[in-house]
Amino acid sequence: MMNVNLDYKDFISGFNPFSPDLNWVHGSFEAVLILLGVASVAAIRFSRISTRLRNTITDNKRVGDALLESESLYRSILNASPDDITITDIEGNIKMVSPAGVAMFGYEQQDEFLGHNIVDYISPEDRDRFLSYVKGLFSGVGEYRALRSDGSTFDIETNGQFIRNAEGLPTSMVYVIRDITERKQAGHSCRVAMGEMISAIAHQWRQPLATLGMIVQRTHAMGTMQKLTEDSMDEFKTSAMRQIRYMSDTIDEFRNFPHPGKHKELFSPLSCINDAVCLFGSQLINNCITVDFQCQGFEERLVNGSPKEFKQVILNLLGNARDAILESRSANGKPEEGFIRVLMSINAGNYLTIDISDNGCGIAPEIAQRILEPYFTTKEENGGTGLGLYMSRMIVEEGLGGRFRQISSSEGATFRIELLLEKPS
């Protein structure tokens, strides 16, 4: 074996790279170069792989952050939405219900919905229609009756869409469900209020229209008998115009009735009662009914409120008294002469008490407790609406701040109105 234990300087000074004696060096040098090349390539590849790995980690972090942000947004929308957001599979089996939906349907946990089909929460009478809506690919917005956890029903509005995969195939369904119970009730209340308004106007107009009819008939009869004079024509004009003005005022009153800021003023209840009797006079005279006033000394007594509304109350009571007297005559042949008594007094607390009585058929004990309820009437055959006494009570108690009630009497019926008097200035 060659001795390679050379002095470093000798080796350098006598070094011939092409010497045959250095073949082992050539071999080792080439090996080193190869190893260096391999290492360099490996280092480059490692650097590239490391760079790619870092980029992949960065991209994954970005994707992860985006997913977290998207999920946070998704959860925020679900939690903040006042409407229910429900997601089901393609068969309608529930996968998720938002917190608003959990509360809307009367449950405590979302888990209570899992394992159920969305159709289970639709009222039975609407299920076929709901399924038709789903099969029709959610055309438009649907309204249905839904079921709460306690079995009660409520109105919902539903809008649905398919959730599709990358190939465009439907994989799930999302429903946005809104509770529209209050909206439905508001619409119903509006229609009821409109009906009440029309019924009330009809009720208020029935009496002056009847009076106008009597005035026309009496005038025609006088003309037929050639007793129509200039004075009677003036009376006809005055009486007719009084009824027409009252009907016009009634329209104005009902038009302004919903407004809380209705004009109030000091007025004399006795003066209003006199006006109402004048408006009703023809019907009273033609039916042999007299009005007895026991109100001396009350001309200057004033209350605060709407005189037109108070006049409506008196007209309602006069109309009811007339009907009771005529009903008693029809059933018993009496009284031959009817009377309506108006009695005024002042009770403790500075309240003006007005009692309006008649000698008609009276009020049966079994209906006395319901006589002031809305839509309760004993006059269905004659077109009674059951609003007259109810409206009278509402006007007196809410509009005038007084009290209105029916009290017992030995004959006929008596209604009592109590109004707070204004203290003299």
Torsion of CA 363, 364, 367, 372, to 10 degrees: 10
Strand partners, 407: 414
Superfamily of domain 81-179: PAS domain (3.30.450.20)
Q: Is 145 exposed, middle or buried (0-12, 13-18, 19+ CB in 10 A)?
A: middle
- Are 83 and 178 contacting, i.e. CB atoms less than 8 angstroms apart? yes
Classify 355 in phi/psi space as left (phi over 0), alpha (psi -120 to 50) or beta. Answer: beta
CATH 3.40.50.720 holds for 194-420: no
Distance CA 240, CA 248 (A): 12
CA angle, residues 416, 422, 425, in degrees to nearest 5: 155
DSSP string, 182-231: HHHHHHHHHHHHHHHHHHHHHHHHHHHHHHHHHHHHHHHHHHHTT---HH
Residue 119: the pLDDT is 92
Residue 102: the pLDDT is 93
Instruction: Decide: pTM greater than 0.75.
Output: no
Domain ranges of the chain: 8-76, 81-179, 194-420
Q: H/E element holding 50?
A: helix 23-80
Residue ranges in the chain whose pLDDT is less than 70: 1-39, 41-42, 63-68, 70-71, 74, 136-140, 186-204, 250, 252-262, 375-387, 424-425
The one-character DSSP state at 140 is: S
Reference 352, options 409, 411, 295, 412; nearest CA is 295
| Residue 11 token pair | 């080796």
Residue 260: the pLDDT is 45
Residue 247: the pLDDT is 78
Angle between helices 307-332 and 269-286 (to 10 degrees): 30
Q: Any idea which residue has 């219900």 for tokens?
A: 97
- Are 404 and 417 contacting, i.e. CB atoms less than 8 angstroms apart? yes
Distance CA 59, CA 264 (A): 76
Residue 12: the pLDDT is 43
71, HSE (Cβ side, Cα atoms, 13 Å)? 6
Q: H/E element holding 8?
A: helix 8-13
